[in-house]
Amino acid sequence: MRFKTASSPHTTPVSSVNVIMRKVLMAMIPGTAATAYFFGWGVLINICLACVVAISSETLMLYLRKRPMKPYLSDNSALLTACLLAMALPQLAPWWLTVIAVSSAIILGKHLYGGLGFNPFNPAMVGYVIVIISFPKEMTQWVPPAVAGYSQLGFLETLQVIFAGSIPAGMSWDSITMATPLDTMKTQLGLELSINDIHQHKVYGPMFSSVSGVGWEWINGLFLAGGLWLAYKRIIDWRIPAGLLGMLFLLSNSFALYDYSSFTPPTFQLFSGGIMLAAFFIATDPVTASTTIRGRWIFGAGIGFFIFVIRTWGSYPDGIAFAVLLMNMTAPLLDYYTMPRTFGHHWSEFPGHHKKEPEE
Amino acid sequence: MTRTTHQLWHFHGGLKLPGEKHQSTGTPIARTELPRQLVIPVHQHIGETGKVLVNIGDRVLKGQALTQPTAYVSAPVHAPTSGTVKDIAEYPAPHPSRLSTLCVVIEADGKDEWIQLESRADYKKMSPADLRNLVRHAGIVGLGGAAFPTSVKLNPGPGHQIKTLIINGAECEPYITCDDMLMRERADEVISGAEIISHALNTAHCLIAVENNKPEAIAALNTAISDAGVDYIDVVAIPTIYPTGGEKQLIKVLTNKEVPSDGLPADIGIVMQNVGTAAAIYRAVFHGQPLISRIVTVTGKGITQPQNMEVLIGTPMSALIEQACGYQENADRLIMGGPMMGFTMHCDSLPVTKGCNCLLVETADQHSDENNAMPCIRCGECARVCPVSLLPQQLYWHASSKNFDQVQDYNLFDCIECGCCAYVCPSHIPLVQYYRFAKTEIWNRERDQQKSDHARIRHDFRQARLDKEKREREERLRKKKDMLEKKKQAEAADKNETEEDPKKAAIAAALARVQDKKAKAADAPKNTDNLTAAQQKQVDEANKRRETE
């Protein structure tokens, strides 16, 4: 009897790219649901729009690059990029903003570098940075959380704002949008107000909770839960979020201890904005992160460092995208200098370690 | 004898794999029918091929040597039964290259008539060198799969005191149970073999390592140890983690020592032998029997009745399959070895060799299609499971771009091809295939490099010889010329003496003055005088170059 030959191992796969991506998407559900609960229909509309644009861009690029459609369209990576990006965009962002952000992410950030696995930068963050630099005003169109007495738009009204750019009668942009707690905190601290003053403020006070911003503690808490599940399932490496959150905690705690009236406490830093989403879902993108154990600690800590620096002294209220892209640049170098010691070899043979003096 | 609780360590990575062992351990080791014809590859081991001692038409006896080792790292093969040599020619043999190899074909006469066998139960009186020689001529090679000549491993060399002998009964690959069944049924042979090896190595301590998924084997070994009354052999149950049966991994688990990348276990005072090898040594010493059979696990979803059988070397694999009641309907891959490291064979008519521990038949649903690979997403799972702490994704990256210098910087040659990385890869990349490709490619280049180096050296030698000859010829010519010159001058002087002439004398005096002046001018310092040693060397080299060009 004759047989086909093949290379070992002769086993069935234990995991696959599309399953990994699907699990990451699943782990995003609780945090996303909380975001939709607090910030309304715009969240879901953005996600749907982003997914449609991502799949269309992916299809177009696969067609142009003459790559097989089925395996790449079913790998769920474009959907994940779309969802991450949609979560970072303001809920009332005009439709074209989402289209530009997502198509840039997929086309510029991913396919022009060679597609899945070859992009040096996190595609979602590339898309985000392109629109925050190009359209800073539209990127502020966040809505107030659906608690603390703020009014919210209905489904059709939201659609109207996003797709027609017209606001419902009797409303103004100022009444339907509002700066995020991070943004407000930064602006008001810049006006020499103390954190205590800001919390007591007539207009801005109600958007803050004892932890961070109203609603944001839930959103971050649920993304944290999803992220821990991913780490437990070994879909992501726990060292990157641990490094990121650890560094952010360390820095914010040190500065808050030094001056608690002008530096926000660690709880505020850790549960504001997209921190948990960034720590567990964005920074852990394996393609653009460091791959070694020590490299991942440094990679995560580096992102935490830059987030704190940009939030505290930079000109953007949140610095996640820039921090991630900066550390993406360092990943190859980190990988090189943090190689593990191969079994049976001496440390002195590896980059970044002292060479053993040749014996005379 | 008393089972001490032995401290254990871990190696990096590894996998917990489904064992799939119970399929083939239900029945005792079966005997196989004597096949009508046996095909014995002359080369079944690592090392040099032996010299064939028989001719076509010769009658050979069971256990008679068919070849004779030609080098230190070499092992002979023996006739597995009595019969007639039918052919000595190239036949297909089980090897990943699928190339044919020189084989001795024996037609069995059915008498199974042994050569004169000599027992050396008094082996303790033998010197280690004599014992090694006995093992060498019994054709014993490592039966764990690598088939390295055992006699070489029994000679750690001067300056290497072996402190610990490790008998490897880990058998960490899924499906394979030949060592397990051997330990269960013939534990006394394994223990005797271990005693003989200890004697040959002059070692006072021996560990037998068995994965803790084989409690029956561990119990049998312990019974055999207490029956034999030896006190220096300990059975150690080790955690079932693939590839804990790898030599370097097992040493790490048992001793926390790392065998240096470019070294051997003997360098750190350890020798390791497989349990099957130990039993084969016992048979060679106590019964005089050379290695002519081995236990083979015939198993897998594609086999009707998985089992272990004692098989004569040279038996066609198809006979084993037949004895196991044939293939299942959807059998589509025939593997020699286990699912992780075994290699596939294109047909089942190949002979069983000394390194053949398992015939695994898989069905179509048991492996993935290699063509479905996705790009690497750098998830790092491969690095997490690599037992050698390599960075498999970097190796893949450089191997696939044929960047062979980089791939060696990442220590490609420390890869043991265990397959852990490919097993966990979510992109289903056949990683090990890339590493094998890179290794082969680098070996080929080194061979080419050696060839061209050799040619260059030969050319240089020839050039040097020609130059030397040229110089010598010139030297001879010059000497000849000088002699002629001297002769002429002498003749002229003779003439001058006889014919005195004032005019001529004046001319000669004037000539002498001019020459004197010239000589003085030549004595004046030049820029080539007073050179430092380094400058002089440069000048010499430049002159030399000029000469050779």
B368 touches chain A (CB under 8 A): yes
CA–CA distance, B325 with B329 (Å, rounded to integer): 12
CA–CA distance, A303 with A325 (Å, rounded to integer): 9
CA–CA distance, A36 with A20 (Å, rounded to integer): 24
For the purposes of burial, counting CB atoms within 10 Å of the CB of A294, is it exposed (0-12), middle (13-18) or buried (19 or more)?
middle
Among chain A residues, the shortest Cα distance to B343 is held by: A8
B398 touches chain A (CB under 8 A): no
Q: Which of these, A235, A230, A349, A341, lies nearest to A294 by C-alpha position?
A: A341
Task: Show the low-confidence residues of chain B (pLDDT under 70).
Answer: 1-5, 370, 496-501, 521-531, 546-549
Give the strand pairing for B307-312 and B293-299.
antiparallel
- B340·A339 Cβ contact <8 A: no
ipTM of predicted complex: 0.89
Among chain A residues, the shortest Cα distance to B262 is held by: A344
Q: Is the dihedral of CA B313, B319, B321, B322 positive or negative?
A: negative
A-interface mutation test, from B362, B376, B378, B437, most A Cβ less than 10 A away:
B378
Secondary structure (3-state) at A336:
helix
Among chain B residues, the shortest Cα distance to A73 is held by: B374
Write out pLDDT tens, residues B473-494: 999 999 999 999 888 888 887 7
* B41 DSSP β-pair partners: B103
Residue A300 CB partners (closer than 8 Å, separation 6+): A239, A240, A241, A242, A243, A244, A245, A246, A247, A279, A283
Q: Which residues of chain A have a CB within 8 Å of the CB of B252?
A: 343
A-interface mutation test, from B358, B374, B382, B400, most A Cβ less than 10 A away:
B374
Task: Using CB atoms, pick whichever of A8, A71, A342 lies closest to residue B414.
Answer: A342
Residue A285 CB partners (closer than 8 Å, separation 6+): A122
Give the strand pairing for B331-336 and B358-363.
antiparallel
Task: Using CB atoms, pick whichever of A12, A19, A72 lies closest to residue B368.
Answer: A12
**CATH 3.40.50.11540 boundaries in chain B:** 22-336
A-interface mutation test, from B20, B242, B366, B379, most A Cβ less than 10 A away:
B379
CA–CA distance, B222 with B301 (Å, rounded to integer): 33
- A9·B344 Cβ contact <8 A: no
- Residue B495 — φ and ψ, nearest 5°? -60, -45
Q: Nearest CA to CA, how far is B131 from chain A (Å)?
A: 32
> Which pLDDT does position A223 carry in this prediction?
97
- A335·B394 Cβ contact <8 A: yes
CATH: 3.30.300.20, 3.40.50.11540, 2.60.40.10, 3.40.50.300. Which one for B22-336?
3.40.50.11540
- B426·A20 Cβ contact <8 A: yes
CA–CA distance, B549 with B540 (Å, rounded to integer): 14
Tokens of A324: 């991630």
| 3-state per-residue secondary structure call for B139-165 | CCECCCCCCCEHHHHCCCCCCCCCCEE
Q: Which of these, B313, B354, B339, B347, lies nearest to B144 by C-alpha position?
A: B354
- B374·A341 Cβ contact <8 A: no
B429 touches chain A (CB under 8 A): no
Residue B252 CB partners (closer than 8 Å, separation 6+): A343, B9, B10, B11, B258
For the purposes of burial, counting CB atoms within 10 Å of the CB of B99, is it exposed (0-12), middle (13-18) or buried (19 or more)?
exposed
How many C-beta atoms surround the C-beta of residue A340 within 10 A?
Answer: 18
In the block, residue with structure tokens 């074909």? B105
> Which pLDDT does position A360 carry in this prediction?
46
DSSP symbols for B262-292: TS-GGGGTEEEEEHHHHHHHHHHHHH---S-
Among chain B residues, the shortest Cα distance to A119 is held by: B377
Largest interatomic CA distance in chain B = 128
Tokens of B207: 């560990």
- The count of CB pairs under 8 A between chains A and B is 166
Q: Nearest CA to CA, how far is A33 from chain B (Å)?
A: 27
> Which pLDDT does position B1 carry in this prediction?
41
Taking chain A (360 residues) in runs of 10, the rounded mean pLDDT of each run is 85 90 96 93 95 97 93 93 95 94 96 94 96 90 75 85 85 81 86 86 83 90 97 95 97 93 91 94 95 95 96 88 96 94 91 67
Q: Which residues of chain A have a CB within 8 Å of the CB of B347?
A: 1-3
> Which pLDDT does position A246 carry in this prediction?
97
CA–CA distance, B489 with B385 (Å, rounded to integer): 92
CA–CA distance, B413 with B399 (Å, rounded to integer): 12
B263 touches chain A (CB under 8 A): yes
CA–CA distance, B360 with A8 (Å, rounded to integer): 12
Q: Nearest CA to CA, how far is A335 from chain B (Å)?
A: 9
Q: Is the dihedral of CA B318, B320, B322, B324 positive or negative?
A: negative
> Which pLDDT does position B173 carry in this prediction?
94
Q: Is the dihedral of CA A279, A282, A286, A292 positive or negative?
A: negative
A14 touches chain B (CB under 8 A): yes
* Helix spans in B48-158 (H): 128-137, 150-153
- A343·B341 Cβ contact <8 A: no
